[in-house]
Amino acid sequence: MCSHGTSGTPFSVALYPAIQALEIALGNSLNATIAEAFDNPWWLDANPPILKPQEQESVKKAKEELARQRKPLEVGRVVAELSLGFWTSLLDARYEQLLWPRLLQPTFLHMPRHARTRKNLSSRFNQIRHLRNRVFHHEPIWRRDLDRQHTEILEAVGWISPSLRDTIRIVDRFSEVYTLGSNPHRERLFRFLRESGYLR
């Protein structure tokens, strides 16, 4: 999971910690659970394959990227290199018979049992993935129900690791930024541009 700078709208920047925590938690939890279920730490490369062709291609590209960076080909590094889109794809109906529902409970140990279905998880994590892509590609997000979505991201992290969710809450500034709104930041930006001579 790659790191990102602090460019973008104040709302986007404020969402980074929660989104990155979710990416790490989901990838690590799915990797650990699937590796244990198939008794294979290198399940990403299992033969016969566990993954469908599209996901196999993602693993291939992740390994090629590690080779390009001259980094050791280790399971943890490959897991970290795979995108949120890769991990959410494992919640697709295509993997219903192979992975679900038997792996739901160990992967999402703290999710309420009545709601713990592949369909619910796929819907939640794909919504977060769409928001994540807009945030990290610096696309407009301020018209969305960001307060609710931020809450849902933290809730999803808590389904996997309540301690990680609580840690993120300590450093998370989204509620503060959301309450203030974007106007103070816009005013500072326009003042800077005027003072710098870019606006007259």
Span of 22-36, 40-54, 140-154, 165-179 with lowest mean pLDDT = 140-154
pLDDT confidence of residue 119: 97
Domain definitions of the chain by residue range: 10-195
Span of 51-65, 108-122, 186-200 with lowest mean pLDDT = 186-200
pLDDT at position 105 over 60: yes
pLDDT confidence of residue 4: 36
For residue 6 the two structure tokens come to 């602090």
pLDDT confidence of residue 2: 38
Tell me the pLDDT tens digit for each residue of 16-32: 889 999 999 999 999 99
Between CA 86 and CA 77 the distance in angstroms is 15
Q: Which of 57, 19, 3 is nearest to 134 (CA)?
A: 19
Average pLDDT over residues 108-122: 97
Query: Are the C-beta atoms of 96 and 118 separated by less than 8 Å?
Result: yes
Q: Is 174 exposed, middle or buried (0-12, 13-18, 19+ CB in 10 A)?
A: buried
Q: What is the DSSP letter of 52?
A: -
Average pLDDT over residues 148-156: 95
**End-to-end CA gap in the chain:** 42
Between CA 134 and CA 152 the distance in angstroms is 16
Q: Is 75 exposed, middle or buried (0-12, 13-18, 19+ CB in 10 A)?
A: middle
pLDDT confidence of residue 66: 97
Query: Are the C-beta atoms of 86 and 58 separated by less than 8 Å?
Result: yes
Enter the pTM of the model.
Answer: 0.82
For residues 95 and 184, the model is more confident at: 95
Residue 64, CA distances (Å) to 40, 50, 58, 77, 176 in order? 21, 20, 10, 12, 41
pLDDT confidence of residue 11: 72
Strand (E) positions, 29-130? none
For residues 169 and 138, the model is more confident at: 169
